[in-house]
Amino acid sequence: MTSVLNNAVTAGSTFSETLANVTGYAPDLNIVEKLWASYYVYMANDILATGLMLFIVHEVLYFGRSLPWIIIDCIPYFRKYKIQDTKEPDFKEQWACMKSVLLSHFMVEALPIWGFHPICDYLGIQIDVPFPDLKTMALHIAVFFVFEDAWHYWMHRGLHYGPFYKYIHKQHHRYAAPFGMAAEYAHPIEVALLGVGTVGIPIFWVIATKNLHMFTVYVWVTLRLFQAIDAHSGYEFPWSLHHFLPFWAGADHHDDHHRYFLGNYASSFRWWDALLSTHPKTQRPKSGQKEKAN
């Protein structure tokens, strides 16, 4: 059974029948809300429904968003927008990266996903319909971006310390000229640590406010995924977002981190690195000193 629509709708023998039942019961819902409710009613198991949706959405969005960058890498016209224009990822590199990321998704991320719904249910993260209004969702997501950025800055900076870098974070720096799919190419410990910012911030938010919807969490995860992949794309365009929002990090910000192996530790915004003077150009070794890359 599902808590969506207070168990007032019966699942049909097919998803389309279930959708018709939901539409008949709640005709004022928008199409996304009807599909959402129908999915939970049809699955009849909220734990399974949330875990399965979260995993599939993550895989489709991650590799779906990486695909345009793979295509762009194959088109000579876009070479002029490449930040490190002498370094192009080849098929072998991208294939090795994809296999490693897939293994991480199935072996590291897939298992905790099944415990996500019980935690959400216990804390009061809602799955019912209708969804919150756009203003509320936008506020929540903006808060998540700000706090995740702070978490990412300090965790990432810490991972560049001595043994933490050598045994954990060094894997992510295999590609000095990053590409989109390399966003989640990392050691399992790093995946877990940085993942706390993405998943943990919404959990702390609902503990403090008792106000959060699962759909908002999905939108937040989607935008965070897109941000991470785009930051690793290796391309700087005249229409890149940071030209319009100067505090937005973007690909040029994170590309310098991979090129110089230090500085620019934040994920989404530039203010932490500006405030604490951790830009690569201010942290690079002085003339005559050897620059470390490992």
- Looking at residue 284, what is its pLDDT? 56
Cis peptide before 130 (omega within 30 of 0): yes
Q: Indicate the residue type of 129.
A: V
Backbone φ and ψ for 128, nearest 5 degrees, come out as -80, 175
The set of residues, in sequence order, having a beta carbon less than 8 Å from that of 14 and lying 6+ positions away, is none
> Taking the CB of residue 141, how many other CB atoms lie within 10 A of it?
18
In angstroms, the CA 217 to CA 54 distance is 10
In the predicted structure, residue 7 carries a pLDDT above the cut 90: no
pLDDT confidence of residue 288: 39
**Pick the residue with more confidence: 94 or 289?**
94
Q: How far is CA 277 from the centre of its chain?
A: 26
Question: Could you read off the pLDDT of 102-133 as tens digits, one per residue?
Answer: 998 988 888 888 888 999 999 999 999 999 99
- Which residues touch 111 (CB under 8 Å, ≥6 apart)? none
pLDDT at 285 exceeding the cut of 90: no
What's the whole-number mean pLDDT along residues 218-238?
A: 96
Q: How many CB atoms lie within 10 A of CB 237?
A: 13
Q: Is the pLDDT of residue 286 over 50?
A: no
Position 250: which residue type? G
% of the chain residues with pLDDT over 90: 80
Distance between start and end Cα atoms, the chain: 53
Q: How far apart are CA 213 and CA 184, in angstroms?
A: 26
**Backbone angles phi and psi of 24, in degrees to 5:** -65, -35
The first and second tokens of residue 203, run together, are 């959990």
Give per-residue pLDDT as tens, 174-223. Answer: 988 999 999 999 999 999 999 999 999 999 999 999 999 999 999 999 99
In this prediction the pTM is 0.91
